[in-house]
Structure formats: structure tokens, C-alpha cells
Amino acid sequence: MNDLKACIVQRDRTVLLECGHPGFEAAREKLNRFAELIKSPATFHTYRITPLSLWNAAALGYTSNEIADDLSSIAKWGVPAGLQQEIGELVSRYGKLKLQRYGDNGEALVLESTDRMILDEVLAVPAVASLQWTRLSPLEAKLHAAARGRLKQELMRHGYPVLDLAGYHEGQSLRLEWNSGIEGQEFALRSYQEDAVEAFEGVTGSGGSGVLVLPCGAGKTVIGLAALERQQCECLILTSNTTSVEQWIQELTNKTTLKSSEVGQYTGQKKEVKPVTVATYQILTHRRSKNDEFEHMKLFNERNWGLIIYDEVHLLPAPVFRATADIQATRRLGLTATLVREDGCEQDVFSLIGPKRYEMAWKELEADGWIAKVDCCEIRIPMDSDLREKYIYAEGKEKFRLAAENPAKTRIVMDLLNKHQSAGILVIGQYLDQLQAIAEAIGAPLISGKMPQQQRTALYASFKRGETPVLVVSKVANFAVDLPDASVAIEISGSFGSRQEEAQRLGRLLRPKSGDNQAYFYTLVSESSKEEEFAVRRQMFLIEQGYEYTIHSVKEARSGT
């Protein structure tokens, strides 16, 4: 019995998961439903059950009983009594406050509670009390519909997520269908894409608001198109960069019956507002000068949008949250590979875009063959005595850079290139000097932000054909949507523990491979240095997704593999 229990569950809502344990996989899967990974050293992973992780679970339909059962099925020494209770209390908060429409004109809302004490308590919170309330009964209070977003945000901050049942306005209708493929080859959604869209639409099929979490390469754009096809309404699509804007437009016009005259681009170059409009986040947040207004936020109200799609929700900038608070009656679909934000605004995603409606673990897609298998390996490389000495006397931030630019890495890259004779190898790094040096040493072209777009495109194409087997790339790789997929990635340096960046880089390898469908991801780190710490942080998200990094230490500064 006990040999399947891989966890120690602690009173402070942290859970320690033993890595080598036979019950590891099963426990990880369960923990992912309602806990967040916060530390992942080699022997024990630490998870924390946070209010937000519980509410996201609750929104997916998990009950506190199911969570309690899951926990006790993995807890070696049982679940502390107080904790069981606390979880029950937290989970039950989701749904204790409900927001409903009041009257028929949509101008007012009513906040309802099953518990008078809770309603009294939240109405006493200053930021909530300052809204204009009319107490209708001990269990109901009325307010103006315009405050919907603000209210949800404030209540969430106070620890009470609201179940928003106030509904949506329909928006201008727009007819569109899937384009029928060649010779009756109907375009078909993959089964999980179908599931994701249905999760967004909800049981009533009336659509709603919320976030779908899917790995890179899972076809998030197609899911967005599907949501639009179901809703049949005018739609605003917000995304992170112009290449992505172009991609959306291409998919919209290729895969659906929408004509190019119905699809507009709203960016720095072109400001079209069409029945379907695709814009960058950046244009929305652009200001003439620092204290000016956001002049392009008016895009939210320029047409009667029935649906707003937020691509890459983890990058959504703060001012866009503020604008989103004002349009809570519009259906909202968030798409992302990770709910984790480096700025900690996960709560605002929950209250203003919506709760998580669907999540597919990366490993699950891998098992079904939709994405490649990836072997992740961290290689620890010693610093030679000169470098070590410099390192010891350096300041905090210099330390990181010295370790990251460890010249011994060049040798290891060469060894790895020898090992993988195949084409499709990316060397990815953070510092231009370092990348330059390595590019010269291995005789491969370096692509950085300085390189004109045309040259980049030419190199990407040559890489795709296999004529250029190895590319050295800087941070351009983080944004380049047109960079072809690779089968081996060697990360020689990375930014200060950005989990997203690591995920993005791994994402480059995920397109299914012919043959054994296997890809390789190496990350090179200087041994016993700050770089090691940050590598651990970077890897966390992927570990949560079920990837394991094997650690390989290099003995001498120059050694074979």
C-alpha cells in the first residue's frame, strides 16, 4: 500500500514529492491538478497548494472531496487534519459568491451569496464598498454592470473568487464556415482540440470566458478559429508580435470562408478595423509619451465584438488587463502554453480573462504522437582556475555572466555536434559575444537581431532544406515564428531563470519527427555557479509538464561525451 505513496503532505500546504519513488509519476499527475511546482531539486520536488491552484481546479469541476481523496492516496504519512479542512474551505469559496444579471436591460448586476456573513465581509472591504451598492436583501446586493471587472478583481484580491454568471452580449453576427479541403478532405479538429473548444463553450454551449492551456505545436490557432466558427460573430484577436498577426490572418483566410476583405490587421504598419481584426498587444499599450493616454485601447469598442481572443495570455501586459476589466460582457478566450507569468499576475488572468477551462499536459500529447519525444540533458561544466578566481571576486550580476560565458562550453558544443551528425541543430544563447565566438569555432552562421529580415529568412530556408545543418541563434529565436523546427537544441546560456523562455526553446523541438520521433535538448551550465541555480528555475515549468533532465557532469574542462 504505502509503496505507492510518494509524497509528504505538510500543514503549510506544501507537498514534497520523492523523485525516485515508484509512485512518482502517478503522484505528479494528481498534484498537477490542484498544486503548483515551486522547487525541483534532484531528490524531492516541492509543490504548493495555493488558493489560485485550488480555484482553477474547482472551475474545472474538481470537488474538495476528490482533491482530498487524491491527496490521501499519495500521502505517505497521511494528510494533516487541519489541512484537509483548509482545502475544503478554500475550494468551497469558489461559488459562494455569484454574479448574476439584474433586470432585463443589462445595466445592473446582483452579487449573491449563500452566506450572509461572507457578503457582509466583502462589502466591507474598502475597494469593494466604494462601488455603488444597493443592498436588496441579506443575501443580495445590486451594482452597476460597468463595475463587473473591477469587482471581480477586488474580490479575488480579497480571497473570494466570484462565479460570474452574468452572461454575455451577443456582438455583431458574422457568417463563416470551415473551408472544405481538397476533394472532400474535410478539415477535422484533433480530438483534444475538439475537447478544448467544448470546454470553452461550457455545458450550455453558449460560450463564455476562460483560458485553454496547450503546449506549443498543439495547434492553438486552430482552436481559436474553431471557437470563432462556433460563435459566428465579429472578433478581435490580440497577439504578441506582427509575425503572429500575419499567421492568424493567413489561417483565418485559408481555413475559413472569411474573405480577406473581412479580416483586418491593426498594427504599426496598417490600422484596419474589419469584422475580424488582429492586433498586437504592443499597439494597444503604445503611448505618445509617458503620461499620455493609451490611444489605441479604443479598438476594444470600435466594433461590436462578440468574442475577443487573447493569444499567449502569459504575455498580456497590465494596461490590457485594465481595458479588459471594462468589457466583461464580451466573450473572452485566452490561449497559452503556460499560466505561469513572470510578473505574478496569474490572479488577474483568472478574474478578468477567466478560469482555466482546459489543460493538456505536454507529455500526454507526446504519448499520443502529436509532438516529438524530447530527451533533456543538463551538462555541468567546470570553470578553469583562472575563470574560477575571477568568478569568486566578481559582483553578483557579473558572476552570472562570467559563468554563462564559460569558454569551456565551446568544446562541449563541438562534442555534441560530433555526436549528432544529423541536420537541424540549433545552438541558442543569450550573449552576442559568446554566440559570435562559438559560431566562428564551429563554422556555423549566427543569426541575431542585427541581421536584416531578408538574410534571416534566407538562412531559415536553407536550414529547413538541410543545407545549413547548424544555426547559432540569439534571442531572435524566442520570437521567430518562421524559424523551422529542429531535432537538437543546445542551450549555451539563458536569461535569469525565465521558465517561459525554456518552454519556448524546447517548443522548437516538438514538431513530430520522422523515424523514432526523438529530439534532444541540452542545456550547458557552469558547475557550482549562479548559473546552476537559475537553470533550476528555468527548468521548473518543464518538469511540471513531466520532462526530466538527466544531469551529466564533465570532469575536465576538455572531455569527450
**Span 62-121, contacts to DNA by CB under 7 A:** none
Residues 6+ away with beta carbon under 8 Å from 452: none
3-state secondary structure 279-319: EEHHHHCCCCCCCCCCHHHHHHHHCCCCEEEEECHHHCCHH
Under rule CB under 7 A, residue 247 binds DNA: no
For DNA, the binding residue among 185, 269, 421, 550 (CB under 7 A) is 269
The number of CA neighbours under 13 Å toward the Cβ of 470 is 21
Pick between residue 242 and residue 328 the one whose CB is nearest to DNA.
242
Among 167, 407, 445, 497, binds DNA (CB under 7 A): 497
Over the window 342 to 381, marking each residue x when it contacts DNA by CB under 7 A and - when it does not, the resulting string is: ----------------------------------------
Partners of 144 in the β-ladder: 108
Of 179, 225, 232, 187, give the one whose Cα is nearest residue 205: 232
Q: What is the DSSP string of 419-458?
A: H--SS-EEEE-S-HHHHHHHHHHHT--EE-TTS-HHHHHH
Given a contact cutoff of 8 angstroms between Cβ atoms, the answer to whether 315 and 340 are in contact is no
Is residue 397 near DNA by the rule CB under 7 A? yes
Among 156, 283, 524, 536, binds DNA (CB under 7 A): 283
Please, what is the angle between helix 432-442 and helix 408-419, to 10°? 50
Q: Is 479 in the site for DNA (CB under 7 A)?
A: yes
Q: How far is the CB of 367 from DNA (least distance, A)?
A: 34
- The binder of DNA chosen from 33, 157, 190, 286 (CB under 7 A): 286
Residue 84 one-letter amino acid = Q
C-beta separation of 445 from 490 below 8 A: no
Judged by CB under 7 A, which of 8, 146, 297, 476 binds DNA?
Answer: 476
**Cβ closer to DNA: 34 or 248?**
248
Q: Whose Cβ is closer to DNA: residue 105's or residue 291's? A: 291
Query: DSSP for 13-61?
Result: SEEEEETT-TTHHHHHHHHHHH-EEEE--SSEEEEE--HHHHHHHHHTT
* Part in contact with DNA (CB under 7 A); list of ranges 182-190, 304-312, 428-436, 484-492: 428-436
407 is a site residue for DNA (CB under 7 A): no
Which residue among 288, 293, 393, 516 contacts DNA (CB under 7 A)? 288
Q: Which is nearer to DNA, 193 or 241 (CB)?
A: 241
The count of residues interacting with DNA (CB under 7 A) is 40
Instruction: Mark 202-241 with x for binding to DNA (rule: CB under 7 A) and - for no binding.
Output: ---------------------------------------x
Question: What is the chain's alpha carbon radius of gyration, rounded to the nearest angstrom?
Answer: 25
Cα–Cα distance list, 58 to 94, 151, 353 (Å): 7, 20, 16
Of 386, 452, 514, 555, the residue at the interface with DNA (CB under 7 A) is 452
Report the interface residues with DNA, using CB under 7 A.
Answer: 241-243, 267-269, 280, 282-283, 285-290, 296, 317, 396-397, 400-401, 430-433, 448-450, 452, 474-476, 479-480, 495-498, 530, 534
